[in-house]
Structures are given as C-alpha cells and as structure tokens.
Amino acid sequence: LANLGYNIGKGRSPITAVYVPAGDMKMGMQIISKLRELGIFITGVMYPVVPKGIILFRLIPTATHTKEDIDKTIKAFGTVRDELKLDLDSVKHAAL
C-alpha cells in the first residue's frame, strides 16, 4: 500500500491503518463503497478522531489471508486511487 502512495502510518499493530485524503464524509463513503464493491471489507474513521479531511481505514490481515487476498486488496486500493483521483500526497508525509 505504501508503494501505491498511501500513508500507512508508523504503528506496529495487527491492524493496518491507511490514511486517505477524503475531503468529506461523502467522499469517505464513496471510498468505502467502492472498496466493498471490489470485495474488500473495510471500516473508516473520520473527524474528530482523525484530522479534518482525512479518513482512517482499518485493515486487519490475519494468518488465513492468502497472497491472492493480499494482492486483491492492493489492487483494489490502486483502483480506488485511480478512479477517484485521490491526491495521496496530501497525507503521504503527515505525522499521524
């Protein structure tokens, strides 16, 4: 995900955080809907938990996920980035 330009933070947890510039709740819901359409179950957290204009997605990889599952997830995030024309640079270096 980092290679696609996403900010995944610096945390060390079983939960993978993915910070995305969503702008507003409508865009955040578009991202969630698109990822779910692509078969990726994801939850999102918005302001006031994270700074305004950013949505925090949470992924929970487990030992039961296959390499194909991981590849599918990465591909889906690339598709969403491209289709929704996300400007990932705005959170790429944010201190989150």
pLDDT in tens, the chain (96 residues): 999 999 888 878 888 899 988 777 888 889 999 999 999 999 888 888 888 888 899 998 889 999 999 999 999 999 999 999 988 886 654 555
| Phi, psi of 21, rounded to the nearest 5 degrees | -75, 100
In whole angstroms, what is the distance from residue 94 CA to residue 74 CA?
21
Counting runs of H as helices and runs of E as strands, what totals does the chain give? 3, 3
In whole angstroms, what is the distance from residue 80 CA to residue 36 CA?
11
pLDDT, position 53: 84
pLDDT, position 96: 57
Q: Which helix (H) or strand (E) holds 58?
A: strand 54-59
- What's this model's pTM, rounded to 2 decimal places? 0.86
